Amino acid sequence: MNTTHVNKRWYSGMATQEDWWSVWLGLIFFTLGLLSVTGVDFVGWVAYPSKWVDITNSIGPLGDAYQGLGGIGSVIVTYVMFTIATCIGAYFQKLNVKKFFLGWTVIFLITYLVWVLAHHAFFAANVTNRAEYGLDVSLSLGGGASYIAALLVGLIIGNFFKGLASFLSEAAKPEWYIKTAIVFLGVKVGYMALKAADFVFELALTGAAATIVAYLIFWPGTYLIARKLFSLPRKMSAVLASGISICGVSASVATGGAVRAKPIIPVMVSALIVVYAVIELVILPPVFTGTMMDEPIVAGASLGMAVKTDGADAAAGAVLDELMRNKKVAQDGVQWEEGWITTSAVMTKIWIDMFIGLWAFLLAIVWVYKIEHRQGEKVPFSEVWHRFPKFVLGYLLTWVVYLGILFLAPEVKSAAKIGAMPVEKGMRKLFFMLTFVSIGIITDFKKLAEAKFGRMVFVYLIALFVFIVPVAVVIGYFFHHGMTPPLAS
Amino acid sequence: MIECLLYHNGTHWVAHNDFFSVSGKELEDLDRNLEKFLQDSSRFRGQGKQKVFMSFENGTIPRWIHQYMPHYFNRIAVVNTDKRQVEEA
């Protein structure tokens, strides 16, 4: 029997699945970063762009110990380190390693090129610092300019250079990259908690509560829209309801399995979801920035509930973070700390992701025993584990380790931060950028026009913008009202 | 416990291992055909009620989707390998 893609044991897929490889990749560099407590910085080589008007000052290594590398040197070292790590991952995932290597190289180069160019002070500087660059006018987009540009470049490739997109597809893995970035984010949340432990705790708790409320409102509402307004078949409605209302592709596939749908149904729904997720990613951050400046955490958490796929949600959270923080500075001269709005979007999403296994298990029980009355079938409980998002384990581990160091071993706090910063800042944002480019590359808007989607396109449109997004904002307001990010130090 | 793999070939569900390959348009058909096969098989018949653990071959799902969710579903069908013998007796 060929068991390459079979999940039978609890450890199945540990060496072969993207989800697990986001844990391994994240933990490798997290561990290297942690070694700074020994007094040696193993991760400060990561190349990170700065705002610039003189391109020779546009990029450099983050660690003091690696300043001698210079800009180009740090990019080369970053490329070598991550190429080795990702190609090993690609090998174990049984990807075409040669094709992955070539695609990765191109995506990496595009990513850094866009990242540097979009850090030109005209795009990135705001009212408080544009004078430092000799500018009277700037767009005040901060790092948001990089994210928007990366997505645009990816979308241009994905929609107008389809041969190139196909060539790059082996390495365009937005979920792998964003899950790795979320493991790195755990480092940041860990030591952010030192500053504002109450805030992190409240965010986690209210995020969980909001998630449960969202599940109980979104899913039945969307299911009813699909069934009653559009008369879609029962299984397709269930798969579509999960995809639109819970966590996108992962939920639609999990639900497809739970209701024993033929695989073509979640596959079709998934193709639709990835396109709509990008539409949300483009529309919602500027709309929320324009309308919810008084409630930044409500806005972030609402994204977590409304934007489907982890990649699009985290990416939308990162754009919102940049846009809102820069607007706040321009408006009031107040500088919120970077990362909290992104974290509110990601934390809500992670709760949603964690519940999907349990939700699909319960759905399978109801479907098999109550709806289809299959008395000769049993639903194994191991299904919950097989559908559990493993990257969450990496996220929680990095979070807890740094939290532990900061509270239990404060004497190594300063040394630990030297290794943490390149990971949570440089590597996290690099993997966000890789996610943006990759999402664009794999998104083909023409798919929306394909007739076979039929009514699903309209179910999605109406359910998302008339039902999910407004309700997400209301739930977000109810649980996160009044929370604002701590001020930057 | 009998273990086998499960996939969908576009029109039918197929359960197979080194000893059998059985298909059905719907899962109910598959279970019925599998039960009948086991009752007729000299290797499996006469073992009473048996659990058949079916692990879905996730390769059936396109590769690009695996990064989002690498698992479709596994299921256990309970089949009676004695039934035909009892009826015949």
Could you read off the pLDDT of A137-163 as tens digits, one per residue?
888 787 788 998 999 999 999 999 999
Nearest to A18 among B53, B67, B76 (CB): B67
Q: Are B54 and B15 in contact (CB under 8 A)?
A: yes
Q: Are A390 and A182 in contact (CB under 8 A)?
A: no
Task: Give the integer Cα–Cα distance in Å for A314 and A318.
Answer: 6
Question: Which positions ≥6 away from A18 have C-beta within 8 Å?
Answer: A93, A173, A175, A176, A179, B66, B67, B70
Specify the pairing of strand B2-8 against strand A377-378: unpaired
Q: Which range, of A42-56, A182-196, A246-260, A357-371, averages the lowest pLDDT?
A: A182-196
**Is B66 within 8 Å of A5 when comparing Cβ atoms?**
yes
**Is A6 within 8 Å of B5 when comparing Cβ atoms?**
yes
Dihedral sign of CA atoms A218, A294, A291, A341 in order: negative
Compute the nearest-CA separation of B71 from chain A (Å): 6
pLDDT score at A352 = 87
Task: Give the integer Cα–Cα distance in Å for A389 and A395.
Answer: 11
Cβ-based neighbour number of residue A81 at 10 Å: 17
State which residue of chain B sits closest to A258, comparing Cα positions.
B73
Compute the nearest-CA separation of B61 from chain A (Å): 7
Maximal CA-CA distance, chain A:
75
pLDDT confidence tier of residue B84, bands split at 50, 70 and 90: low
**Is B65 within 8 Å of A249 when comparing Cβ atoms?**
yes
Q: Output the six-digit token pair for B49.
A: 């009620």
State which residue of chain A sits closest to B12, comparing Cα positions.
A262
Among B69, B79, B80, B83, most A C-beta atoms within 10 A, so best to mutate, is B69
Tell me what the mean pLDDT of segment A457-479 comes to. 91
Nearest to A376 among B56, B73, B77 (CB): B77
How many domains would you assign to chain B?
A: 1
Q: Output the six-digit token pair for A419.
A: 């290794």
> Could you give the percent of chain A with pLDDT greater than 70?
97
Reduced to 3 states (helix: H, G, I; strand: E, B; else coil), residue A215 is helix
Compute the nearest-CA separation of B22 from chain A (Å): 15
Q: Are A152 and A437 in contact (CB under 8 A)?
A: no
Hey, what's the torsion of the CAs at A335, A340, A341, A343, to 10 degrees?
160
A397-413 exposure pattern, b = at least 16 Cβ within 10 A, e = fewer:
bbbebbbebbeeeeebb
Report how many Cβ contacts below 8 Å link chain A to chain B. Answer: 118
What share of residues in chain A are helix, strand, coil (percent, to 5)?
A: 75, 0, 20
ipTM of the complex in this document: 0.88
pLDDT in tens, A293-306: 999 999 999 999 99
Task: Give the integer Cα–Cα distance in Å for A346 and A185.
Answer: 9
Task: Give the integer Cα–Cα distance in Å for B89 and B76.
Answer: 28
**Is A18 within 8 Å of B69 when comparing Cβ atoms?**
no
> Residue B49 is part of which domain span?
2-88
Helix axes A310-332, A248-258, angle to 10 degrees: 150
Q: Using CB atoms within 10 Å of the CB of residue B86, give its burial: 0 to 12 exposed, 13 to 18 middle, 19+ buried.
A: exposed
State which residue of chain A sits closest to B15, comparing Cα positions.
A1
Question: Which positions ≥6 away from A414 have C-beta within 8 Å?
Answer: none
Check pLDDT > 50 for residue B87.
no
> Phi first, then psi: what are they for A294, rounded to 5°?
-80, -15
Nearest to A263 among B5, B8, B27 (CB): B8
Q: Which residue has tokens 């709005």?
A: A341
**Is A2 within 8 Å of B57 when comparing Cβ atoms?**
yes
Among B2, B5, B18, B68, most A C-beta atoms within 10 A, so best to mutate, is B68
Three-point CA angle A169, A15, A107, nearest 5°: 25
State which residue of chain A sits closest to B6, comparing Cα positions.
A6
Tell me what the mean pLDDT of segment B56-62 comes to. 89
pLDDT in tens, A50-100: 999 999 999 999 999 999 999 999 999 999 999 999 999 999 999 999 999
Task: Give the integer Cα–Cα distance in Å for A7 and A14.
Answer: 10
Q: Which range, of A124-128, A180-184, A304-308, averages the lowest pLDDT?
A: A124-128
Helix axes A174-195, A310-332, angle to 10 degrees: 50
pLDDT score at A203 = 83
Specify the pairing of strand B49-56 against strand B2-8: parallel
